[in-house]
Structure 1
Amino acid sequence: MTYAHSAQNVFVNMLGTLDHLASKAQDAGMTDDVLAAKLTEDMFSLELQFRVALNQVLLGLNQVAGKTVPLEEAAYRTLGEVRERIAAVRSLIEAVDPNEWADGNAPVDLTLPNGVRFLMSSEEDIQDWIVPNFYFHVTMAYALLRNAGLALGKMDFLPHMERHSIPSVGAALSLT
């Protein structure tokens, strides 16, 4: 399996997690005001955690998959809009052929808005920058929703694992 196939699988699974979290918040009757929730004043809000997570996927596609898709810049106003944007990014990543991604050794020159610059291979970009940042912001969305009172457990972070579950006598799937 190439780095591109692996990354595509991670993105699809964890975009499913983001959608599951937003859906569960809606089902619990949380208002859209939850999007302003923060853990501390110097951290991003829940809305920005969702948006930056999606932007990591888009940034990866732009850097190594030859795409020129615009990043998500406008703030999401509702949990429904969050779910719509997750679905759109998920459709985009599912439609991209990983065999067309840059060779794992192709160079990526990344300069952050603060001027910090990284020069790495395509595989390193995905492995060392994009995926860890993506997971960080997905994890922060989980933490913010849990902190806001949403009942969440580990399987809410890993809902894609349900497809691997097999019935066993007397055991329930719970990793909390």
Structure 2
Amino acid sequence: MTLSMYQTAVPVTIRALENLAHVLKKGAEHAAKKNVTDETLLQTRLIPDMLPLVKQVQIACDMATRGIARLAEVEPMSFEDNETTFEQTSSRIHRAIEYIKTFKSEQIDGSESRTIILKTRTGEMTFEGQAYLLHFVIPNLFFHCTTAYNILREAGSELGKPDFIGQA
């Protein structure tokens, strides 16, 4: 059986974001128990030169939505980076999931060799679709989900590996 680009992209990004939403919910519950404001925990960092929790979530959502859209040759949905509460941050994750669910396999399958050009602050990056998904989108998505998990874990949230991985 062959694994399609759609199967590799869409269910994986949805699951990662659903698990991130679960982790964030447990972080919000921990903050409420400890009387820590949303703003304080959302601005928490592992170390001073890393981005805060809220930015990790924003980037994870952007990586998933923009990655899928680019594979489908659709202009990516844009989100404002203006979340200041757990409720707003959770809403962003759920909006990203709903957006990703709108893509059909016909839009993604066959994108293995599609040229993807990213414009960055430092120039352009060019990928073929499969390399873009497997070597850029998925690793970046999981990096930012993992970092969000680690920030919440370091802040004292009762999280474990099953929270990050989700149920089978």
Question: Percent identity among equivalent residues?
Answer: 25
Normalising by structure 1, report the TM-score. Answer: 0.85
The equivalent position to 2:118 in structure 1, one of 100, 104, 110, is 110
Residue in structure 2 matched with residue 174 of structure 1 by the alignment: none
Return the offset for 1:72.
Answer: 2.6
Task: Flag as ranges the 4+ runs of structure 1 deviating above 6 A.
Answer: none
Q: Secondary structure at the match of 1:109?
A: strand
> Where do residues 1-176 of structure 1 align in structure 2 (5 Å cutoff)?
1-28=3-30, 29=32, 30-32=36-38, 33-101=40-108, 103-115=111-123, 117-161=124-168
Structure ranking higher on relative contact order (CA contacts 8 Å, 6+ apart): 2
Q: Secondary structure at the match of 1:129?
A: helix
User: Structure 2 regions of 5+ residues with no counterpart?
Assistant: none
Matches of 1:83 and 1:35, distance apart in 2: 12
Return the offset for 1:27.
Answer: 2.3
Normalising by structure 2, report the TM-score. Answer: 0.88
Q: Which segment is superposed worse, 49-58 or 103-112?
A: 103-112
Q: Secondary structure at the match of 2:167?
A: helix
Return the offset for 1:98.
Answer: 2.4
Alpha-carbon RMSD: 1.5
Deviations 1:149-175 (A, max 9, x none): 1011100101132xxxxxxxxxxxxxx
The structure with the largest alpha-carbon Rg is 1
User: Structure 1 regions of 5+ residues with no counterpart?
Assistant: 162-176
